[in-house]
Amino acid sequence: MKRTVSQTSYRVLLCDLRSDQLLDVIPVQGLALDDYIGKTGSMSATIPVPNAVLAERIRTAVQPGRTAVWVERGREIWWGGILWTARVASSTRGELSVQIQAATFDSYLDHRMLTDTKAATGVDQYDIVRGLLDYVQTTVGGDIGITYDGTLSGVLRDRTYSRYDLPRVRDLINQLGAVEGGFEWRVAAYRDPESGRRIKALQLGSPIRTGTSEIVLDHPGPVLSYTWPIDATVQATAWQCRGASDNSNQAAESHPIVSELLVDDGAIAAGWPRLDGSSDYSTVITQSVLEAHARADHDRARAPLTIPEITVRMDGSITPALLGATIRLRIRDLWWPETLDQRYRIVGLAITPPERGRAETARLYLEA
């Protein structure tokens, strides 16, 4: 999901990742942003280098791996993340530019490994996540200022994470959330309305939901267009998970533990073909945990993947804060002559700025 935005309304702030001290505000071109529930968002832009003074500023502020990027729209923070790559390019006419790419703050956990064994017995799954984040941020040089609250999920888990597996912390959180009765998570970026500080906040939800009032969108009407992809390549009517290898008997050949084979007998009786699916959890050593993963994965794979996209007119209410909000979508046309009238959750958002008389629009990515 990309949103290309007007340069006159947006500012790109470059800050020190650990202290969040402002380094510079540098003009960019071709700014594009992703924001999504369930995966890392991205940002890309090109910085023109017209003179030696700006070149020196860029060399100082643009340091991949240690520079934070915040994107402001007006006084609001619309995106925040870590600068990971920069590429200096010279054209045939000698014009210089620097192309930068960043990813949302959750990407930091892709670059942190668990180097100590950690165990939790009967611990709320949200507390396990917060414990992993504490582990990351209490190591020397590891605190990048991600905050969290004390909300509980009410779901208790038993987990043991071995340092010998050298697991990535992001993978551990993703696996914990992907189990039956699991959760969604992201690191939201925004400005605190009272202090004005830039905030990186861990969000946890089962699922993540925001907003208190329902938005109603109609086509024809505010909904200008839509696309409705249906993808059965990820559908499965039978599922099995594979876990870690069982090395309890050193004299015998080791094999991974496997879950029970789950078959959707109702779908097959209704005429669906047998479609096999599987997933691997190489660090899962407990049979009950593997079975919970299998049930969750099978539930997600029972139906074709559908993520509708609708394009609507911008009316001043479309912001990244809508991620997780519910809309009521009503469509009446040749495809839905009896009128589609369903509620969907917004899981992604993209903005198209006005251009040559074209009105500014927003693209929303939806989940049933």
Band (pLDDT 50/70/90 cuts) for residue 113 is very high
User: What CA–CA distance (Å, rounded) separates 362 from 342?
Assistant: 20
CA dist list (Å): 90 to 53, 85, 131, 180, 316: 17, 17, 46, 51, 39
Has residue 162 got a pLDDT over 80? yes
**pLDDT score at 14:** 98
Listed in sequence order, the residues at least 6 apart from 192 whose beta carbon sits closer than 8 Å to its beta carbon are 198, 199
Q: What is the pLDDT of residues 224-263, one digit of tens each?
A: 999 999 999 999 999 999 998 876 656 667 789 999 999 9
Has residue 293 got a pLDDT over 70? yes
Average per-residue pLDDT for the chain: 91
**pLDDT score at 8:** 45
330 burial class (0-12, 13-18, 19+ CB within 10 angstroms)? Answer: middle
Q: What is the pLDDT of residues 52-89, one digit of tens each?
A: 999 999 999 999 999 999 999 888 999 999 999 999 99
- 118-124 vs 146-147, strand pairing mode: unpaired
Has residue 6 got a pLDDT over 50? no
Mean predicted confidence (pLDDT) in 95-106: 97
What DSSP character marks residue 36?
B
Mean predicted confidence (pLDDT) in 111-133: 97
* Residue in 279, 193, 211 with CA at minimum distance from that of residue 239: 279
Q: What is the pLDDT of residues 327-356, one digit of tens each?
A: 999 999 999 999 999 999 999 988 775 555
Residues found in the chain: 368
Single-letter amino acid, residue 331: I
Instruction: Specify the residue for token string 């530019």.
Output: 97
Band (pLDDT 50/70/90 cuts) for residue 207 is very high
**pLDDT score at 7:** 42
Entry pTM: 0.87
Contact by Cβ (8 Å): 41, 78: no
**pLDDT score at 241:** 95
Percent of the chain with pLDDT over 90: 78
SS3 295: helix
Per-residue 3-state assignment (H helix, E strand, C coil) for 136-205:
HHHCCCCCCCEECCCCCCCCEEEEEECHHHCCEHHHHHHHHHHCCCCCEEEEEEEECCCCCCEEEEEEEE
Contact by Cβ (8 Å): 28, 62: no
